[in-house]
Chains A and B, each alone.
Chain A
Amino acid sequence: MAFWDGLSPVVQDSSLLLALLAPIVLLGGALLRGYAPWAVLRALLWRSRVAALVFVALIAVSVGLGVALLAQERALRQGAARAADGFDLIVTAPGSEVTMLLATVYLQPSDVPLLDGAIYAEIARDPRVTLAAPIAFGDSYNGAPVVGTIAGFVDHLSGPLIEGRMFADHREAVVGARADVAMGAELEPAHGTGIDADAHAHSEEHYKVVGRMAATGSPWDRAILVPIEGVWEVHGLAAGHAEGAQDALGPPFEPTLFPGTPAILVVADRLVDNYALRAAFTRSDTMAFFPGAVIAMLNGLMGDVRQLMSVMALVTQTLVMAGVIAGLVILMRLFAGSLALLRAIGAPARFVFAVVWAYAAGLSVIGAALGLLLGRGAADILSRVISARTEVLVQANLGWPEVHLVAGFVTICVFVGLVPAALALRRIVVADLRA
């Protein structure tokens, strides 16, 4: 066990794959050793080409679906986790961590209580905190969320801008990489989001797009980020700065003139500080949580669903395999005359057995290989659809788990292929010759 644990993941996965496929090689070697059944196999495959294609298609579709679902599920988890990468620690008003996670990281609309200026100032002043970025969501433009924040958050989330510059005025905006807004465009925010958004609530107010962020693979790629002061002003609130400095941008804010923010992203240099900050701000008036931990918890809750999906994939493949084997048994009647001829002219029983087995095994292997390709394609399409709908970048790739699943399935198929081979030998040669 210690030896196994000492191997690299690639070596472990490769070894498992070899272990799963080894029985096929050993069985095939034992059955086909010394024989050259290829001409007979070719003839039988061509004779039953329609049925063979149907069998291969059935296997490919069942394998492909199973593989695509598993790969997609994993990609979705990875994509969701990746989207939360920049969000080290979030502080909000007490409530549901999941709701706040969805609202803050995935920009899903939600009515949440606000944190006041005193709390923001307390967080921002903490020596362990390197960035305390207010995140004020609630407005939208053409369905894209308009989020008030500070320049430091934009830097933290995407790094250098790919176009333009950082906002330098309350009425300027930086947009996400995939936001459908051109540089220099002037946009009028709607109050609220979705179908309930009031497009004319802020009709006197406009933001000018001056920069574009690099892609993050998250819903923030479609967001429009504006100075939080702008959001407050648009709503007729104070701009967060003292008299005479109303045009200032970003922290420090005057706590008494800080209208509130639904969430604050907190970044600390050291991991231990993150944990200490979470403990410090988990109290009666604030809630602090690691988005990654909430996602992990959700993944844990979804674990059963994942297992269920795996079982369903296996059940589907097993049912298809059973159908294919039943079909092969029936198909063997079509081959009965040819197989009887082979036995009559002296072919050893093992040769005839090997021919039927190789036929079944060949269909299984080809079907499974096509299934892998099909699964890859299906996962790719599903990824695009999910990415487009959730704006979370989902990139499904076939991984070792899928390869192992298919290898295990093929091995089982190949062994079940012994059944029609054995049944073919039970037939009476002279009866089949006369038929």
Chain B
Amino acid sequence: MPAPENMELSVKGLIVTGAQRRKLLDLPCLTLAPGQSLGISGPSGAGKTTLLHAVAGLIPVNTGAIQWGDTDLADLSDAGRARFRAAHMGLVFQTAHLFDELSALDNAAIAAGFAPKHARAAIRDRAREHLQKLGVQASTGRAVATFSGGERQRISMSRALARSPAILLADEPTASLDRAAAERLGDDLLDFSRQGGTLIVVSHDPSVLARMDTVLRLADGQVMQ
């Protein structure tokens, strides 16, 4: 269950440049109310992942402001942005980025390793709870290397949700899944949004995008619609 926080996203005059000052993203304005879902689509190289990384604070912003509630990511240091992500965001990537050597529960509760001591047990409990909810057998100590793609993404999702974030950012979460698994993960994402979380999903998948409150289409780093 997402924390009841005022995490409205407000992006203004965002410009991200890459090597040789090439403009990767130019976004004049974007707002997303708490509890809303936003889909980001567009062809490869359109700047979808760059936008997701920017709003996650994973890349420095050259120009503009990215405000989550009262917090402007541009004002934060690397460490500050990491703290913000740890406290408020869950991230799901196209590949699950799991520790194949660990169990599903250890993976889902990986953030307990750097959480304050008093919060570790709660993270582990929530990780177990989300794994069960998402249909992953958490009781087994089996390493996740042999899990299916869909299971791995659901573990990744459980990892993202284990700290009860207010914001969930997902980058092509269904790209490597078959249709059934993609549908199921789409449901899980929407559940998060329905429970009050702010959801941003980068996807090529029309069925995922169709379920978002808003869809932002990018091309060459610009908003198409």
> Which of A's residues lie within 8 Å of B, judged by CB?
34-40, 42-44, 46-47, 337-338, 340-349, 351, 429-430, 433-434
Contact A344-B56, Cβ < 8 Å, known A39-B106, A39-B110, A40-B113:
yes
Kindly list chain B residues whose C-beta atoms are within 8 Å of the C-beta of A349.
Answer: 78-79, 82
B59 within 8 A of A: yes
Distance, CA A270 to CA B79, complexed state (A): 77
Known A-B contacts A36-B120, A338-B97, A433-B97; the reply to A347 vs B106 at CB < 8 A is: no
Type the 1/0 row for B2-42, where 1 means its CB is closer than 8 Å to any CB of A: 00000000000000000000000000000000000000000
List the interface of chain B (C-beta within 8 A of A): 49, 53, 56, 58-59, 78-79, 82-87, 89-91, 93, 97, 99-102, 106, 110-114, 116-117, 120, 159-160
B99-A346 in contact (CB<8A):
no
With CB as the reference atom, state the residue of chain B lying closest to A46: B101
Could you list some 23 contacts between A and B, CB below 8 A?
A34-B117, A39-B99, A39-B113, A42-B101, A43-B101, A44-B101, A47-B99, A338-B97, A340-B97, A341-B97, A342-B114, A344-B56, A344-B58, A344-B93, A345-B86, A346-B85, A346-B86, A346-B89, A348-B82, A349-B79, A351-B113, A430-B59, A433-B93
Residues of B within 8 A of A37 (CB): 113-114
Contacts of B83 in A (CB 8 A): 346, 348
Whether A344 and B91, one on each chain, are in contact in the complex, defined by CB atoms closer than 8 angstroms, is yes
Question: Most chain-B Cβ atoms within 10 A of its Cβ — which of A39, A344, A345, A347?
Answer: A345
A-B residue pairs, 8 tightest by C-beta: A346-B86, A346-B85, A43-B99, A43-B101, A341-B97, A351-B114, A46-B101, A347-B114
Smallest CB separation, A17 vs chain B (Å): 31
User: Which residue of chain A has its CB nearest to the CB of B84?
Assistant: A346
Chain A contact residues: helix, strand, loop or mixed? helix
What secondary structure prevails in chain B residues at the interface with A? helix
Shortest beta-carbon distance, B45 to chain A, in Å?
13
- A-B contact sample (4 more), CB < 8 A, given A43-B99, A346-B89, A433-B93: A37-B113, A345-B90, A346-B85, A348-B79
Residues of B within 8 A of A35 (CB): 113-114
A406 to B101, CA, bound (A): 32
B106 contacts across to A, CB distance below 8 A: 39, 43
- Name the distance in Å between B101's Cβ and chain A's nearest Cβ: 4
- A345 engages B117 (CB within 8 Å): no
- Residues on B with C-beta less than 8 A from A40 are 99, 110, 113
Beta-carbon contact of A346 and B101 below 8 Å: no
> Which of chain A's residues has its CB closest to B56's CB?
A344
B82 lies within 8 A of A347 (CB): yes
Which residue of chain A is the closest to B120 with respect to CB atoms? A36
Query: Which residues of chain B come closer than 8 Å to A43, judged between CB atoms?
Result: 99-102, 106
Q: Which residues of A contact B111 (CB under 8 A)?
A: 345-347
Q: Are B99 and A338 in touch, CB under 8 angstroms?
A: yes
Closest Cβ of chain B to A99, distance in Å, is: 66
Nearest to A351 among chain B residues (CB) is B114
Whether B102 pairs with A345 at a CB distance below 8 angstroms is: no
Residue pair B159, A345 in contact (C-beta under 8 Å): yes
